[in-house]
Structure 1
Amino acid sequence: MNTAKRLRRTTEGGYARGDETRQRIIEAAVELFGEHGFDGASTRDIATRAGVNAPALQYYFENKEGVYRACIEELADTAWKNFAPSVERAQTVLRENADTATLIDAFIGIQEAMADSAFAKANKPGRRMFFAREQAGYEPESATKILTCKIREPLNEVSAALVARISGRAADDPVTLIRIFSLHGQLVIFHVAHRSTLSLLGWKSIDPEKAEMIKSTIRAQTRTLLETWSRERDDAQAAGAEKARKQR
């Protein structure tokens, strides 16, 4: 697989022009890949929408897969900027052996960042469909590898560590992993099933007020589940301690 080329610039003024052209191509490609999928979007259509000639795509990206990879890289980098503060906060509370309430708040903080990212894409149909197609497994595997490395692995790792600490199970316990997947899935469904969401709720769009309604509902559900698992952990530990006491 060829990776996206670095810009070939010869003058100082060429930096700005080259960056602008490259960015315009990426933005056009994201929209077209979202609308038509990787196979359905042609390099000619991408060039036309970007307002450049077709050879410009080869100049900057070599081929269509190079364009696609550049789109994924940029979207992943942008998403990580949104997630990084909440992930770093979660890592800190884990290192400090924070109490359960703080661990729960840290997990919900990650969900908040995910929600903000998802609802921002909701108003950009091309980007929303771009990710929906990748989630469904219809696009090049290179996309999944990049997103897994840059976004999903660090998010899943810290989420599993938080739920493990809250519930008393191991981070790699299948139950822990199913739990984090289902908790985050509460948000994903509103992203990938956008049309069904609007139809069910009778909405024309998800504006900031409606997004906050969804977020607050999911926030409450998540907190209830995490607090329940925490109580189950405490009950199990108490039962174990009582059993050990009686055996002495």
Structure 2
Amino acid sequence: MATKANTRQVYRQSNTGYSKSADTRKAILRAAIVAFGRAGYSAATTRQIADAAGVNQPAINYYFGGKDGLYQACAQEILDNFKGPLEQVSLRALEAIGAGLDRKGAARQLQELLSALAEVMILSEEVSEAAGFVGREMREPGLAYQMLYRNLWAPGIELAAALIAIVKGRAEVEPADRVDAIMMISGISAFAPGHSVSMQVMQWQAAGKDGKALVLERLEAQILGWARTPAPGG
């Protein structure tokens, strides 16, 4: 018959096993995201990834079913790293659009969205590690492209473009709004860790909180400029 002490011991051992399993999976993902970002899908090997993660090679098959599964799991990990910080602010913006936003309200929602995005892209260590992976998928679409496009790039651009259109005094999104949305998001990403040109021009080791604040200040000036311009037909 199991005693309370035995039960607690089994529980601790079980929890430790789950914790180690999660840590191993996380280590493989982080090593893979960096390796795929640097070398690309074809050149990066599971042996290299396993060595970098400090695990044996069969662990990749155990956790991910092979190289394809690992690559797609990397994309999902990147999506999850964005989803947490951005989900609530995106939902608030969508609800506000549905309820009917005026131009000032849309400007406020757009600033909040860009601020949340800057927090992730400029200050997050996980996103910094993912920059090479994401950049490769943008330049050379591969197994993860559609996943990233459908769940990250397209929805983010469309939401920003919808807010931009309202700030400008229009109900319908036009191509110029999407261009502005892409340029704003790209402007933030240019100050993410690993962008050596931006860092060298600004003479920064990293943008950090002060750099993030300066980037958002310049974006806010652009948004407020749109908000002050008379609406079309107004």
**TM score, norm. by length of structure 2:** 0.83
Aligned residue for 2:56? 53
Tell me which of 72, 88, 91 is aligned to 1:88: 91
Match of 2:71 in 1: 68
What is the alpha-carbon distance in structure 1 between the residues aligned to residue 206 and residue 163 of structure 2? 33
How many equivalent pairs are there?
221
Mapped partners of 1:101, 1:227: distance in 2: 7
Match of 1:156 in 2: 157
Residue 221 of structure 1 aligns with which residue? Answer: 222
Q: Hey, what does 1:212 align to over in structure 2? A: 213
Name stretches of at least 5 consecutive residues in structure 2 with no aligned partner. Answer: 1-12
In the alignment, structure 1 residue 237 sits paired with structure 2 residue 227: no
Structure 1 residue 125: Cα displacement = 4.8
Residue 33 of structure 1 contacts residue 126 of structure 1 at CA under 8 Å; is this kept in 2?
Answer: no
The equivalences for 1:183-222 within 5 A come to: 183-191=184-192, 194-222=195-223
The 8 Å contact of residues 60 and 70 in structure 2, kept in 1 or not, is answered as: yes
- Could you tell me how far 1:203 is from its partner in structure 2? 1.9
Q: Quote the offset at 1:205 in angstroms.
A: 2.2
Q: Give 2:5's aligned residue.
A: none
> Could you say which residue in structure 2 is the equivalent of 1:244?
none
Verify: 1:27 aligned to 2:30, yes or no: yes
Give CA-to-partner distance per residue, 1:93-141, whole Å, 9 cap, x none: 2122132111111011111111111112478753222222223x2352x
Which residue of 2 is the match for residue 143 of structure 1? 144
Q: Within the alignment, does 1:178 sit opposite 2:174 as a pair? A: no
Judge which range, 47-56 or 212-221, deviates more.
212-221
Distance 1:196-1:123 versus aligned 2 partners, 3 A rule: farther
Q: Structure 1: 5+ residue runs without aligned partners?
A: 1-10, 239-248
Please state how far the C-alpha of 1:143 moved relative to its aligned partner. Answer: 1.6
Out of 186-195 and 40-49, give the one that drifted further: 186-195
Kept after mapping to 2: 8 A contact 1:31/1:130: yes
Deviation at 1:157, TM superposition (A): 2.8
Aligned equivalent of 1:246: none
Q: Is the 8 A contact 1:25 1:47 kept in 2?
A: yes
The structural deviation recorded for 1:90 is: 0.9
Q: How far apart are residue 200 of structure 1 and its match?
A: 0.9
Partner of 2:113: 110
Deviation at 1:168, TM superposition (A): 4.1
Question: What letter corresponds to residue 227 of structure 1 in structure 2?
Answer: A
Cα deviation, residue 149, structure 1: 2.0
Aligned 8 A contact 1:171 1:177 in 2: no
Matched residue type, 2:166: R
2:136 to 108, 133, 136: 133
Query: Partner letter of residue 233 of structure 2?
Result: Q
